[in-house]
Structure 1
Amino acid sequence: MPDVEIKAPTFLDLYLQGRATADDGNDFVSAWHNSGDEEQRPLTEFLGMTEEEYNLWTMDDRTLPVIAAARQSGVSSIETLIAEHVRRMRAENDPINDAALYCLGHWLKARGIDA
């Protein structure tokens, strides 16, 4: 019998399937930190995210539905969806959004996109 390693679904896999909530993401991060030497994958791979998706999620955890929408629609470039997210946040004019708007705005600007 061949050596087959079966890995548990990642956080993003479960989120896309509707079997995990955004709040469960922190539990996955904690599980990775507490796994010791058992888990050899980098955190991004453990979560099922690309580096870019992880960076966006850490800038603003409300980008998770945007990341999911990009994955589900097969969008190869997430920039357009993030720009829409930023425009919605700006329209809310809520000071609680300021830090996320700053980070995401710079992320978009570095890619030559105004939002």
Structure 2
Amino acid sequence: MSSATFVDDALTGAAGITDVDSYVDSWHESDSDLDLHEYLGLTWDEYRLWVEKPNTLRFILSARRHGRTVSEELKSTASELALAARAGSSDEAESVLTWLRKTGRL
């Protein structure tokens, strides 16, 4: 694992989504003065979203990659998948969008 954040490493391909737990473990073992969300490279809102709904991490990373907000990324993903007629795949994005609306985040 490099000294870059999880988000940095994930965006460059040096880490995968499932590696986030290793970064959390490293934070626990470190003497870092950073809060966990900073150590991971997440904004506070991204961190809160991930903690409450872990399957959003891939949308958070995709949003970062595309220079969008997570909400914009989810809407785009749901639209693109629906257009591609992959209803099963768009269900996850739609589920997260519904949850964001329900919790007042969207």
User: Same fold by TM (over 0.5)?
Assistant: yes
Structure 2 spans left out of the alignment, 5+ residues: 82-89
Instruction: Work out whether residues 12 and 47 of structure 1, in 8 Å CA contact, stay in contact via their aligned partners in 2.
Output: yes
Q: Kindly tell me: are residues 11 and 55 of structure 1, through their superposed partners in 2, closer, same or farther at Cα, counting changes over 3 Å? A: same
**Uncovered stretches (5+) of structure 1, i.e. residues with no partner:** 1-6, 92-100
Q: CA RMSD in A?
A: 2.8
Task: Please tell me whether Structure 1 or Structure 2 has the larger radius of gyration of its CA atoms.
Answer: 1
- Describe the SS at the equivalent of 2:9: helix
- C-alpha deviation, 1:39, in angstroms: 0.5
- Structure 1-normalised TM-score? 0.65
Kept after mapping to 2: 8 A contact 1:63/1:82: no
Q: How far apart in 1 are the matches of 2:43 and 2:32?
A: 17
1:88–1:13 CA distance, 2 compared to 1 (3 A): same
Is 1:88–2:91 an aligned residue pair?
A: yes
The number of aligned residues is: 93
Distance 1:90 1:80, change over 3 A: closer
With the length of structure 2 as denominator, give the TM-score of the two structures. 0.70
Percent of residue pairs identical? 32
Instruction: Quote the residue 2:71 is aligned against.
Output: 79
Counterpart in the other structure of 1:98: none
C-alpha displacement of 1:73: 1.1
Structure with more helix by fraction = 2
